[in-house]
């Protein structure tokens, strides 16, 4: 009985190439640090605020104290938080925790490949579409009023910081209406990756477009038009990414062109 | 009433009764907290933050007793009813078996401002002077979790001074209530709040947090009051007695 091992008979002796799906590149400490960064971006924590105790934070983020300390140390190295000793000691949000500068955003964009951006768009589009669909099924009148409120605030906003916050809040309220904790969490993470990039170029044009598109999405949600709400939410993300990816392609051309 | 037979009706009534007794310890704890918090205002006009030390203690004790089903517990003042502050939220949340103070952003200029006095769980008890459970909803900027917030008005003599309340963990609530529902219930059963928000169903087509939108039934249930039942052209529903929930059987009227 020889030479039978090289076939598709399922022999356990045959080594196969198994395509394993890689883990997300982030470790647990990175994820914990990102959650805290998000809280700062969303205004939940602002300059001078004290972070909760280590015990509370690790319980809230569901990580071991050791992992949390790693995360805090990363944030300290970035200058986002500082730790003071003594009786009133603890970790505090610093003034450096603000939004990135235009140059920082541009280098963040330059560090991402076009393929990565397309992939980010795919995920964001999927999340946005299903979120809007569920919101159209589940939003009540109070929910509609909250979403409308953030469209009006987006209309009135002038500073880039406020524009980003109101854009973010509209989409967060849609996620809240979906009644899904997971979708809300994903929306917040995706905003953390994408929002600054999307607003980095033509802020004024992007403001007008966002107002109109948010209103159209909300109108569809109000009519409980599940299909249109989903399509418009997907198109909203797609359109924003096409503009961004065009910028990214253009930047490469400028770097390598004549 | 061409209703389902009397057995289904009996099952429904039994379910409502046992669901209400599940909430009894929580109701007792809320009543006790409301009484203590109301008594702070007995003395007279100038109530200060430091007058709530006993309230703060009691909140932690009760939260640890109720922890699991209840993920947060506390008292929220009526705006302006305390000398030094406009809003005050004496609220603790339960994490890994321990109570932690819940901090909310009460700064009106912050994008993360959490104005509890405009939320459904505060406004309804204030308006109706009755207990009220809001949600399931996702408490963004609060706990960020899927919860029901159940509040009762706190009165000092005739004056409304705030609400005592509890955050109920939706997963635990759903788990406890579904066990009370008979396995052989032949129709789709929903537990909804006054606005039609679904708390529980025996039918996978009805997600927790989704909306039952039958205006006829919702209007009818509001009209008939606590403990009473209403039959629409298609469904039948019973109001709970102690909480603004109703038990609805879809197709129960046909």
Asked if B127 contacts B118 with a C-beta cutoff of 8 angstroms, the reply is no
The answer to whether B209 contacts A175, with C-beta atoms less than 8 Å apart, is: no
The answer to whether A184 contacts B140, with C-beta atoms less than 8 Å apart, is: yes
Q: Of A81, A48, A94, A35, nearest to B144 (Cα)?
A: A35
Q: Residue B18 is encoded by which pair of tokens?
A: 């046992």
What pairs with residue B198 in β-bridges? B192
Q: State pLDDT tens for residues B3-54.
A: 456 777 788 888 999 999 999 999 999 999 999 999 999 877 789 999 999 9
The answer to whether B100 contacts A165, with C-beta atoms less than 8 Å apart, is: no
Distance CA A176, CA B92 (A): 23
Which pLDDT score, from 0 to 100, does residue A189 have?
93
Q: Is the peptide bond before B136 cis (omega within 30 degrees of 0)?
A: yes
Which pLDDT score, from 0 to 100, does residue A22 have?
66
Strands B159-169 and B236-239, bridge-based pairing = unpaired
Distance CA A67, CA A90 (A): 17
- So what's the ipTM on this one? 0.90
Which pLDDT score, from 0 to 100, does residue A5 have?
47
Report DSSP state, residue B83. S
- For residue B207, pLDDT over 70 is answered with yes
Interface test with A, best of B114, B138, B210 (most A CBs within 10 A): B138
Report DSSP state, residue B84. S
Which residues, numbered 98 to 117 in chain B, qualify as contacts with chain A under a Cβ-Cβ cut-off of 8 Å?
Answer: 98, 100, 103, 105, 110-112
Q: Which residues of B touch A175 (CB under 8 A)?
A: 138
Asked if A129 contacts A233 with a C-beta cutoff of 8 angstroms, the reply is yes
Task: Give the number of other Cβ atoms within 10 Å of residue A135's Cβ.
Answer: 30
Region B119-144: mean pLDDT is: 94
DSSP string for residues in A62-89: T--HHHHHHHHHHHHHTTSEEEE-STT-
Percent of chain B surpassing pLDDT 90: 78
- For residue B2, pLDDT over 60 is answered with no
What separation, in Å, do the N-terminal and C-terminal C-alpha atoms of chain B show?
8
Which pLDDT score, from 0 to 100, does residue B13 have?
87
Percent of chain B surpassing pLDDT 70: 98
pLDDT band at B126 (very low <50, low <70, confident <90, very high): very high
Asked if B97 contacts A59 with a C-beta cutoff of 8 angstroms, the reply is no
- Which residues in chain A land under pLDDT 70? 1-18, 21-25, 97-98, 251-258
Residue A98 forms contact with B (CB below 8 Å): no
Q: Residue A134 is encoded by which pair of tokens?
A: 């569920």
Q: Of A49, A112, A64, nearest to A244 (Cα)?
A: A112
Give φ, ψ of B154 to 5 degrees: -105, 120
* Nearest chain B CA: its distance from A1 CA (Å): 55
- For residue B247, pLDDT over 50 is answered with yes
Q: Phi/psi class of residue B8: alpha, beta or left (left: φ > 0; alpha: ψ in -120 to 50)?
A: alpha
- For residue B109, pLDDT over 70 is answered with yes
What separation, in Å, do the N-terminal and C-terminal C-alpha atoms of chain A show?
67
Which pLDDT score, from 0 to 100, does residue B185 have?
83
Q: Which residues of B touch A181 (CB under 8 A)?
A: 138, 144-146
Radius of gyration of chain A (CA): 22
- For residue B226, pLDDT over 50 is answered with yes
């Amino acid at each position: 009985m020889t030479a039978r091992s090289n076939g598709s008979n399922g022999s356990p002796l045959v080594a196969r190439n198994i395509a394993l799906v890689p883990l997300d590149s982030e470790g647990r400490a990175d994820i914990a640090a990102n959650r805290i960064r998000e809280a700062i971006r969303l205004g939940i924590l602002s300059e001078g605020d004290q972070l909760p105790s280590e015990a509370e934070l690790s319980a809230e983020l569901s990580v071991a104290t050791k992992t949390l300390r790693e995360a805090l140390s990363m944030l300290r190295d970035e200058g986002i938080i500082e730790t003071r000793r003594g009786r009133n000691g603890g970790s505090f949000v610093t003034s450096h925790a603000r939004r990135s500068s235009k140059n920082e955003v541009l280098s963040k964009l330059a560090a991402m490949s076009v393929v990565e951006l397309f992939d980010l768009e795919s995920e964001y589009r999927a999340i946005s579409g299903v979120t809007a669909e569920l919101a159209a099924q589940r939003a009540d009148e109070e929910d509609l009023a909250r979403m409308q409120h953030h469209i009006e605030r987006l209309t009135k906003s002038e500073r880039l910081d406020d524009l980003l916050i109101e854009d973010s809040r509209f989409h967060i309220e849609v996620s809240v209406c979906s009644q899904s904790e997971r979708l809300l969490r994903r929306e917040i993470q995706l905003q953390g990756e994408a929002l600054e990039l999307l607003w980095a170029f033509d802020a004024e044009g992007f403001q007008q477009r966002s107002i109109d598109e948010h209103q159209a999405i909300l109108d569809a949600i109000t009519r409980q038009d599940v299909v249109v709400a989903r399509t418009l939410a997907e198109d909203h993300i797609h359109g924003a990414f096409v503009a961004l990816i065009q910028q990214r392609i253009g930047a490469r051309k400028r770097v390598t062109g004549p | 009433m061409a209703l389902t037979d009397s057995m289904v009706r009996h099952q429904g009534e039994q379910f409502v009764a046992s669901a209400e007794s599940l909430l009894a310890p929580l109701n007792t704890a809320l009543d006790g907290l409301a009484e203590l918090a109301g008594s702070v205002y007995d003395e007279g006009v100038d109530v200060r933050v430091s007058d709530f030390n006993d309230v703060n203690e009691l909140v932690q004790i009760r939260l640890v007793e109720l922890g699991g089903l209840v993920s947060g517990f506390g008292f929220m003042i009526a705006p302006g009813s305390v000398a030094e502050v406009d809003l005050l939220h004496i609220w603790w949340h339960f994490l890994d078996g321990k109570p932690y103070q819940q901090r909310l952003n009460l700064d009106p200029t912050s994008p993360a401002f959490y104005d509890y006095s405009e939320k459904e769980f505060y406004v309804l008890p204030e308006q109706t002077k009755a207990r009220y459970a809001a949600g399931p909803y996702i408490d963004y900027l609060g706990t960020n979790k899927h919860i029901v917030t159940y509040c009762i008005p706190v009165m000092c003599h005739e004056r409304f001074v705030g609400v005592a309340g509890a955050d109920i963990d939706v997963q635990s609530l759903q788990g406890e209530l579904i066990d009370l529902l008979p396995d052989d219930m032949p129709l789709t059963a929903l537990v909804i709040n006054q606005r039609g928000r679904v708390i529980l169903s025996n039918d996978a087509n009805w997600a927790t947090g989704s909306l039952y939108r039958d205006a006829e039934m919702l209007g009818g249930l509001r009209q008939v009051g606590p403990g009473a039942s209403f039959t629409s052209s298609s469904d039948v529903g019973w109001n709970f007695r102690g909480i603004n929930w109703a038990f609805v059987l879809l197709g129960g009227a046909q």
